[in-house]
Amino acid sequence: MTKCTTLDVSRYVCTKHQEALKVGMRFKMGDDLDEYIDITTNLYGKSPTFPKFRPDCSRIEPGRAFWIIGEDQSDKIAHVQALRVDDLTTTTLAEHLESLKACYADPKNQAGSGSSCACHAPTARKITGVVAYHGDLWLRDDFRGKGLAGILAGIAFGLALAKWSPDFIYALVPSWLIERGIADQYGYLHREAHGSILSLPERGIEDDDWLIWITRPELFQLIKRTTTEMPVSSPS
């Protein structure tokens, strides 16, 4: 099986960052989700952050989540995304989603009346182990159409691999991202419909999202292929 060294992952993330700098975006990251909510709450055009990344809803232990923010050359926020990791070694992704534990630390007492989640993606019943969720991705209008989808996801993949080495990284996306090919640009290799039919009436959420995912060996191959193709710089 193809494996990556720490240097491979570092070079991969640095390459993606350099590509982003060429279109005028630089990044910073953090792991304080209260700070993240403060930053993202008033971003024009961004939907409210789901409970999965809200400390007042989810139980996220220190070191189990991080966020990435992209800024333009005027230090204004142009992009956000977040990741969290869950230990699903004794359960499956489908059970995790359907129990609403992906959204709430205590679904029985926190979820409002009528809240539910159904997962009809067959592979979700086989996804287990250390599983990272990639979500809350937003990009400002003036940066769209510049080929950033793969760059942004690539940075997230590389950092998640370095921090957690998850067995799977997954996202839940609406049908229009599938139809427009944007999910492919992110780098996810698999997709199944009806991955999360989520109803949270108390938050105005009614979604029917696709499950998209990539495995750790596939991520190793992606990073190894990218770093192998990179030109080697001569010392000055």
DSSP, res 231:
P
* Topology of the domain comprising 6-228: Aminopeptidase (3.40.630)
Q: What share of the chain is helix, strand, coil (3-state, %, to 5)?
A: 40, 30, 35
Report how far residue 230's alpha carbon sits from residue 74's, in angstroms, rounded to the nearest whole number: 30
Report how far residue 19's alpha carbon sits from residue 21's, in angstroms, rounded to the nearest whole number: 5
DSSP output for 56-101: TTS---TTSEEEEEEE-TTS-EEEEEEEEEEEETTS-HHHHHHTTT
Task: Encode the chain (236 residues) as per-residue pLDDT tens digits.
Answer: 567 899 999 999 999 999 999 999 999 999 999 999 999 998 999 999 999 999 999 989 999 999 999 999 999 999 999 999 999 999 999 999 999 999 999 999 999 999 999 999 999 999 999 999 999 999 999 999 999 999 999 999 999 999 999 999 999 999 999 999 998 999 999 999 999 999 999 999 999 999 999 999 999 999 988 888 765 544 44
Domain ranges of the chain: 6-228
- Side-chain half-sphere CA neighbours of 212 within 13 A: 21
The pTM for the full model equals 0.94
DSSP, res 168:
E
pLDDT for 4 equals 85
pLDDT for 234 equals 43
